[in-house]
Amino acid sequence: MHTSTHTILHACSHLQVSILRVDCRQLKAALVPAPMHSLEQLYTLIPALASDLIQAFMGEVQVHYHKCSANPLSCGEAAPCFWRMHSTNKAH
């Protein structure tokens, strides 16, 4: 044997090579839902969420409307209502 060939073979005798191939397509399919399935869930969730938020908002509007539309007995009763309306208009 040539010296260079012997050196290469001697260096390679301590080399360990392992190959492991794992098919994780089923795991990925189980952990990551399909985009269309996620969109379908959003399409059903958004209207229900919007309905709940609108009902809560309308309840708040009715409470404050009744407070603001009633004739105040004193200036102290009217001031919080007008302050709320003033600060709301400033935000827009």
Tell me the pLDDT tens digit for each residue of 17-76: 678 888 888 888 877 777 778 888 999 999 999 999 999 999 989 888 877 777 766 666
CA 56/CA 32 separation, integer angstroms:
34
- pTM of the entire structure? 0.41
pLDDT at 37: 84
pLDDT at 81: 64
Helix or strand (DSSP H, E) at 70:
none
Is 83 or 2 the better-scoring residue by pLDDT?
A: 83
Q: Is 21 left (phi over 0), alpha (psi -120 to 50) or beta?
A: beta
pLDDT at 74: 66
Task: Write out the two tokens for 36.
Answer: 């269309």
